[in-house]
Structure 1
């Protein structure tokens, strides 16, 4: 969140320079930002940063720094646009081709196997995957709470994913020794700061995406990412007629 807000600050300073007073944030000023940013950024990205600005304006309003009449967001004022991104889930046939794929390169095989683990483990977020410990395995299930929603939802939602034969094979091949305090995969040590842990996750995601892009090109599937694994998990279940509420629950969605 800190890094994200820093990025918003850099973007805002592109438009308004340093030390921008809250009173300067008007509907017209936000429209100016939107117009400038749209030259190099998507509607979704702009929307995310606009929501950060709105958060700060809400704080300013609560603190009495600006009056209600100065608040620029809302109906008839500045309305934040949301981008509609077409999410593409893979078919079972495409997934089978990935599962069956074998490379002569060990590194490619390792990151392909991690991608498969993400898919099979309820489309787990890479951040959550790298924080899994052997102590999270209970009665043949991996139990975890999404870091993304851990602090933002009142009810702590535990996700359970049954360990399949393929998942166990990935753990046996690329995992640490199966001791309770050990992370399942050998990337985190446990003494990292939040920023260091984020950097490790980004690096692993980058490596998985790089190898999966090559595999996708070779198989004629197109670009494959860690997010493709998560979305394909949900899509395959949906196409198979599985109840939406179950899919939502297994992904850890709050609604």
Structure 2
């Protein structure tokens, strides 16, 4: 038995003589067995041996057996590459592995095929939002250079031309950064499977560096938040959107996906306890966020929440449960769009610019910071994995505050 098990991921890979059923000539097929969560699947190597020849195989010097040993090794390494890639992306399942194995190595010879393969894997694993990100990137790449781009064509100069093309299309640096990061992931995969040499890798320091655009994060003052909360809403829909926005702000700046997925089981000992949907799949250390269930939040749940309070019932009637990943994504996008539209209208009436669902999270962090809260507490509340992330997150807000304060110096 030859062991090809990767270091991480909980998937075991071995090449073995499958003695469950002999061939007509008395030999047995050599297969690669993959084991995950006690489930085993077998993949052909195209070779077969007798039991005695199999026992000789590891040290055999006869050319015929040496060739079979190399064939078995090559077959196992192909399986290992696919397994490692899927595990690294947190997308491993036997369906995903079988799909990759059935397509063969040529499936990823082009950038288009590699993107298509990755999008299919993401959708199969319910990661519809990330799949959309890769789909939009692929569409952009196809418009720029067609669907036959080879990985060897992706050079530093090519990437610079692509960036200029995106700028000519009036894309923001935020969009450019997202497209380039998706492309970088796919190129990294190509390097790991040997489709390109490490020296051909075009991303990184001294090569092509993905532009980092520091977006203008808008944070509201506590005074502005008070005006929003006290606003006399014209319709029930506007009032609901305002209240959900306020709930997000109070709930540690929880994003709308998290808010939509809150269930009554998330309420424990007077707190809402949850993992951020955005980072739970990628983070090695899963951070449970604790948000005190304030009286204002209880009132919003009572006003707009589901009446049935069983553990598996969602707090708010946005999702019903049982939706496909695509339908779930659509419902969350629709409520987010509705909230942004109504909050923008409230802002216009109050003379407060740029109110959105993002503003609730930004405002939660900065109100705490300006009130003297400890950075470590803010970091923990936001679900950040380190203080540096929180410091960088708050930096742009504090620059705005410094500019506003500096103006006061000349208000004679």
TM-score with structure 2 setting the length: 0.61
- The one-character-per-residue Cα deviations of 1:227-253 (angstroms, maximum 9, x if unpaired) are 000100001000011111110110111
Equivalent positions of 1:1-255 (< 5 A) are 1-39=130-168, 40-177=170-307, 178-255=309-386
**Structure 1: unaligned runs, 5 residues or longer:** none
Q: Distance in 2 between matches of 1:65 and 1:216?
A: 52
- The one-character-per-residue Cα deviations of 1:44-82 (angstroms, maximum 9, x if unpaired) are 210111111111111111111111221111222111110
- The one-character-per-residue Cα deviations of 1:136-169 (angstroms, maximum 9, x if unpaired) are 1111111111111111112221111111111111
Q: Post-superposition, which runs of at least 4 consecutive aligned residues in structure 1 deviate over 4 A?
A: none
Tell me which of the two structures has the higher relative contact order, counting C-alpha pairs closer than 8 angstroms and 6 or more residues apart: 1
Q: Distance in 1 between matches of 2:261 and 2:140?
A: 32
Q: Distance in 1 between matches of 2:376 and 2:236?
A: 39
* Per-residue deviation, 1:86: 2.0
Q: Distance in 1 between matches of 2:173 and 2:257?
A: 25
Over the residues paired in the alignment, what is the CA RMSD in angstroms?
0.9
* Per-residue deviation, 1:223: 2.2
Q: Distance in 2 between matches of 1:142 and 1:157?
A: 13
- The one-character-per-residue Cα deviations of 1:116-137 (angstroms, maximum 9, x if unpaired) are 0000011001001100011111
Q: Distance in 2 between matches of 1:223 and 1:148?
A: 23
Q: Distance in 1 between matches of 2:206 and 2:279?
A: 31
Q: Distance in 1 between matches of 2:357 and 2:319?
A: 18
* Per-residue deviation, 1:104: 2.6
SS of corresponding position for 1:142: strand
SS of corresponding position for 2:289: strand
How many residues are aligned here? 255
- The one-character-per-residue Cα deviations of 1:91-136 (angstroms, maximum 9, x if unpaired) are 0110100011121311110110000000001100100110001111
Q: Distance in 1 between matches of 2:320 and 2:153?
A: 46
When you count strand as a share of all residues, which structure comes out higher?
2
**Structure 2: unaligned runs, 5 residues or longer:** 1-129, 387-412
Q: Is the 8 A contact 2:249 2:363 kept in 1?
A: yes
Structure having the higher Rg: 2
